[in-house]
Amino acid sequence: MIAPLLHVTGLSKRFGGFVALNDVSLQVAPGERLGLIGPNGSGKSTLVNCMSGTLVNDRGRVQFDGRVLDGLPPHRRAYLGLARSFQLPRPFSSLSVRDNMRIPLLYTAAVRAGRQRAENEIRERTEELLRVVGLIDKADARPIDLTQVDMRKLELARAMAADPKLLIADEAMAGLSNAEVDDILGLLMRLNAQGISIILIEHIMKAVMAFSQRLVVLVSGNKIADGAPSEVIRNDHVVRAYLGQ
């Protein structure tokens, strides 16, 4: 078996007396598409935050690309190739769409490439990425003038600008129409085809099933299933967690 790109072992996180994550372990192989599902409050976002460094886990270890990430701030993890999009889009509201792209290009992408891009290279790369996500016509708009789906595209484009090895898409499709979901899903598939591993956190089962090669289920901070999507959704524990008994 090839060495995993992301290797999470025994991750635990408490908020006061509330156990948000309890001894969660999971692996992501290079180029893999992993779906992460679970009811609201099951700890999905906490897991994402611990992996990306926004939160500090109490116990356990996160390894990425052969390196232990514990203690590294989020920007250092981004430099190693771990990118994330936020559940609620968080654009830089005083910058145009174009200049929003400039931030990861000036920082993460520059560190990852080992050099600073020239101004015309930044423009080219920005336009290339905006074309991929279909935002090129709105390059000079302010984030406040964007629709929900465009805002999510910007969020993904910004994550892509960092040239990641692994992209964690935290509910990138929540609240979108069917056609828009397909739009974003196609985008993620194209990214994956370029060799980027993707963790998709999503409630829309149709999208998760179509996208994932493997499915991980979290319930109340515990991992209760991990395997092929078709098997996982037949799992008794999963059915019980989602439908009650």
By the criterion CB under 8 A, which residues form the site for another protein?
52-54, 73-75, 78-79, 83-84, 86, 90-95, 99, 102-104, 106-109, 111, 116, 118-119, 122, 158-159, 161-162
The arrangement of strands across the sheet holding 67-68 comes to 18-28, 6-15, 59-64, 67-68
> What is the H or E stretch that residue 215 is in?
strand 214-219
Structure tokens at 181: 């979901």
Q: Which is nearer to another protein, 52 or 197 (CB)?
A: 52
Chain-centroid distance of CA 7 in Å reads 15
Query: Please, what is the minimum distance in Å from the beta carbon of residue 167 to another protein?
Result: 11
Query: Please, what is the minimum distance in Å from the beta carbon of residue 171 to another protein?
Result: 15
Compute how many other C-beta atoms are within 10 angstroms of the C-beta atom of residue 81.
19
For tokens 């969660």, what's the residue? Answer: 24
Distance CA 43, CA 143 (A): 29
Query: Please, what is the minimum distance in Å from the beta carbon of residue 5 to another protein?
Result: 18
Q: Which is nearer to another protein, 111 or 209 (CB)?
A: 111
Query: Please, what is the minimum distance in Å from the beta carbon of residue 179 to another protein?
Result: 27
For tokens 């679970």, what's the residue? Answer: 38
Q: Which is nearer to another protein, 79 or 242 (CB)?
A: 79
Largest CA distance in the chain: 60
CB 25 within 8 A of CB 141: no
Q: Which is nearer to another protein, 106 or 210 (CB)?
A: 106
Query: Please, what is the minimum distance in Å from the beta carbon of residue 100 to another protein?
Result: 9
Q: Which is nearer to another protein, 83 or 198 (CB)?
A: 83
Query: Please, what is the minimum distance in Å from the beta carbon of residue 15 to another protein?
Result: 17
Q: 199 pairs with which residues across the strands?
A: 34, 168
Q: Which is nearer to another protein, 66 or 73 (CB)?
A: 73
CB 211 within 8 A of CB 35: yes
For tokens 């060495």, what's the residue? Answer: 3
